[in-house]
């Protein structure tokens, strides 16, 4: 019986009493997509895109942004480094990029990051002229080696995230923001 209940939710014993909490499928609340190794023009309006490889230490070398007025797309490029701060070649570190509807923002989590060449002042300066981002924040959590970048948007957007591994220069994570049609 306990095994069956565990499949339905969380079963816990506290002080001799048995408590049950129903499980909710997290996949129903958030759409999840796996990032591809090239641009596919597949945008999401909300949910999460994840990609890259885990199991090693990485660094964030730079955050750049490019705006294409013709295509009305803002591209954010995250240049990646290895554990020693040298350009990471041939692979992309593990990441998640989430876009929210209720509070228009993008949250980018970079896992297993030992260091960052980007600080709060640099990221704010980089996004100062952005047509889509009203405020940018960066946070480094040394306990779990995660860098979180928050982009507070001026309005609801669509997002595409993809990987740009390179053999010649630093591999990158690309995040494209596009206006909803």
Residue of higher predicted confidence among 41 and 106: 106
Average pLDDT, the chain: 85
In the chain, where the domains are located: 27-179
Q: State pLDDT tens for residues 159-179.
A: 999 999 999 999 999 999 999
Q: What is the pLDDT of residue 10?
A: 43
Q: What is the pLDDT of residue 152?
A: 98
Q: Which residues of 29-44 are buried (b: 16+ CB within 10 A; e: fewer)?
A: eeeebebeeeeeeebb
pTM: 0.80
Residues above pLDDT 90, as percent of the chain = 72
Q: State pLDDT tens for residues 128-150.
A: 999 999 999 999 999 999 999 99
Angle CA 67–72–180, to nearest 5: 130
Q: What is the pLDDT of residue 14?
A: 47
**CATH C-level class of 27-179:** mainly beta
Q: State pLDDT tens for residues 83-133.
A: 999 999 999 999 999 999 889 999 999 999 999 999 999 999 999 999 999
Q: What is the pLDDT of residue 17?
A: 53
Residue of higher predicted confidence among 2 and 41: 41
């Amino acid at each position: 019986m306990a095994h069956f209940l565990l499949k339905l939710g969380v079963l816990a014993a506290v002080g001799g009493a048995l408590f049950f909490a129903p499980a909710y499928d997290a996949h129903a609340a958030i759409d999840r997509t796996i990032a591809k190794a090239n641009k596919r023009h597949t945008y999401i309006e909300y949910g999460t895109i994840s990609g890259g490889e885990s199991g090693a230490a990485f660094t964030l070398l730079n955050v750049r942004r490019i705006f294409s007025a013709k295509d009305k797309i803002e591209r954010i490029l995250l240049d990646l480094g290895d554990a020693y701060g040298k350009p990471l070649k041939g692979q992309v570190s593990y990441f998640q990029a989430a876009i929210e509807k209720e509070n228009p923002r993008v949250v980018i989590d970079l896992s297993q990051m030992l260091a960052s060449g980007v600080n709060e002042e640099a990221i704010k300066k980089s996004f100062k002229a952005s047509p889509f981002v009203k405020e940018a924040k960066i946070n480094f959590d040394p306990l779990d080696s995660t860098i979180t970048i928050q982009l507070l948007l001026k309005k609801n957007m669509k997002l595409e995230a993809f990987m740009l591994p390179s053999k010649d220069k630093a591999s990158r994570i690309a995040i494209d923001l596009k206006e909803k049609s």
